Amino acid sequence: ANIFQSTCTGVNERTFLAIKPDGVQRHLIGEIIRHFEKKGFKLVGMKLMQASEDLLKEHYIALCDRPFYSHLVEYMRSGPIAAMVWQGLDVVKMARTMIGETNPADSRPGTIRGDFCIEVSKNVIHGSDSIESARREISLWFHTDKLTCWAESTEHWIYE
Ligand code: UDP
C-alpha cells in the first residue's frame, strides 16, 4: 500500500467534492462549503478553476458510454468549478448522503441537491462515490503533495 492510501482512512479519509459551474454561477460556494464545515469535516484543498475537456473526460470516464456523456462534459466546461478535498471519518459516504441523490427530484430536503437544484443535468455539486473513486479523483484534480494537512483546534470536540 502506498503512503497516500494508508494515510487516507479513519479520520484521515478524504473525498473529492466539486461545486459545478451552475453552483458557482448561482453563488452557492459559500453555502455549500458551510454545510461541510458545520458538519465537522476539514477542508484540506481548494481551488477555483476552469477544467479542461481532457480532465473532465477522464474524470467521467466511467460514464463514457452513456448518452449524456458529451452534454455532461460540456456542462462541466461551461464555467469555473470549485474543486475541493475534504477530510474526516467516513467522509466519502457521509458527503454523498449530504449531497443527496443524483437526480435532485429524488433528493430529500436538507440535502444539497434537495435544497438547491431541480434538474439532474444541473445538479450543482459532485462528490466521489467510493473511497476508490475519491483516491482516483483527488490525484486527477490535485497534486496530492500540495494538500494541506493541518490540525484543527476543535478536533476533540468532534471526535472521541
Ligand atoms: N447526469 C445527467 N443525466 C443523467 C445522469 C447523470 O446529466 O441522466 C449527470 C449529473 O450531473 C450527474 C453526473 O452526470 O451528477 C454524473 O452521474 P453519476 O451517475 O456519476 O451521478 P453522481 O455520482 O454525480 O450522483
Ligand 1 center to 23 CA (angstroms): 15
Question: Residue holding cell 434537495?
Answer: 114
C-beta of residue 62 within 8 angstroms of C-beta of residue 128: no
Asked if the interface predicted TM-score (ipTM) of this complex is over 0.95, the answer is yes
Residue to mutate, 64, 70, 123, 124, ligand 1, most ligand atoms under 8 Å from C-beta: 123
Cα 130 to Cα 64: distance, rounded to the nearest angstrom: 19
Q: Does residue 64 register a pLDDT over 50?
A: yes
- Reported as a single tens digit per residue, the pLDDT across 3-58 is 454 457 899 999 999 999 999 999 999 999 999 999 999 999 999 999 999 999 99
- Cite the active site residues: 126
> Which residue, 134, 133, 49, is CA-closest to 86?
134
pLDDT of residue 8: 74
Question: Residue holding cell 474543486?
Answer: 83
- Reported as a single tens digit per residue, the pLDDT across 92-140 is 999 999 999 999 999 999 999 999 999 999 999 999 999 999 999 999 9
pLDDT of residue 2: 46
C-beta of residue 120 within 8 angstroms of C-beta of residue 102: yes
Ligand 1 center to 129 CA (angstroms): 11
Its pTM stands at 0.95
For the CA of 102, the closest atom of ligand 1 is: 25
Q: Which runs of consecutive H residues, i.e. helices, occur in 51-123?
A: 53-59, 69-76, 91-99, 112-116
